[in-house]
Structure 1
């Protein structure tokens, strides 16, 4: 028998409590194809590794929409993101499950209590493969060390989960990209959102947070971003006064960037291939 504990997204108190109360538990990470979701998944994978929880792998949910008329799969949220992420993080991709109306209706009716999932042709094969691999891994695989064996009380596990994260936060560079309609916005002070990207540490850039821009007030944006730990701003244009305030806060400013997706901007900057033009703001 298997006990499945469905925790909320992220690395909050719930998964930590599971690790403390069930020290031989395994982790199974569920994601969706969007980059923003996978940024949280990377943190969850690192969290499991820090506290010594063995990872079964990753399941990609909502991996495309199966058309009820023709049976064709439409990649609504993109394709291949979870597979690439799993390869980079060195974990198994156990299954990719599509958006399927019959699967959703089956779950709403009570799941296995109202019929076997093998009656669902679009998902049954992927679920069978996932279940077989989970059973094999948990039956034959080496179980993670219990908390006591590694000197791990509940407080120790909490410290192990939190301390490395703080160290990583201190080392990680956070870049801010002014964003509008998903692309870098040419006018720093008038963008609708800011996309914060974890960069550096030799790893793949990942979206950390997408936040609404605060009200436009003189000098507010530079201080607000500095308080969020931003080390670099890559923008299309920025006024001289804002650049001066950033400099006083120790934040580097890069102007003249083209209107690309935030992750593309940061990747190209790190690779040295970002083509910069003139500062789009002349005041």
Structure 2
């Protein structure tokens, strides 16, 4: 029987414990606070921000939604980030990507204080991850590791194959898996004989943005399949990067779309915001 790795159920369970932690922090005089900046009016980004805000409020985390017009200049955006960096009551800062044309994404990411960079994209946090030092980690890979841990899946010694090399998922995922003693193979759009690589995977993580590109013949029987994709197929149906109907009977465990990795991404964002707030408690003592 294939195990469905239920991200919604897992996130809800983790958030129950986290809510208790938030309550304890408030009793100690610290309210965890997350500031999310949205520039422009991208509909998908607006949905992501709204979902983060709802989850934060449900936990008792102070949630600041900062909506800026599409005409905002890079200098204006950097000014708002500087203000948040200087605000001791703000624990986490997140700038929703993508940004409008004309704004340098890397300049924005690097302007966020590494200590408040709750997305884990700042080069200092990326460096800490790759050198296996404590720090903030990109939310989606962090969430995937939390999901595997919830289902008591130990990746140590596994052959892990990642399809996709983005800075948001693929690269930090590789670092996390290496730090947990997996043997990691990175693949991408230029990889030759991709199916040969994926069929060797005990753990397959797919983050390409290509609807249902991973088919049953590309998956090792019994493999754990993590689908990070959120796409629309030709019929307009919401699907992942994995052909779920075909792959699920082959896999030993698989994440659904929706309800798999997505809820874990937001959960991990909340967990790391609260972790930063905990440090604030220690600083005040």
Q: TM above 0.5, one fold?
A: no
| Structure possessing the higher relative contact order (Cα contacts under 8 Å, 6 or more residues apart) | 2
Which structure has the greater CA radius of gyration? 1
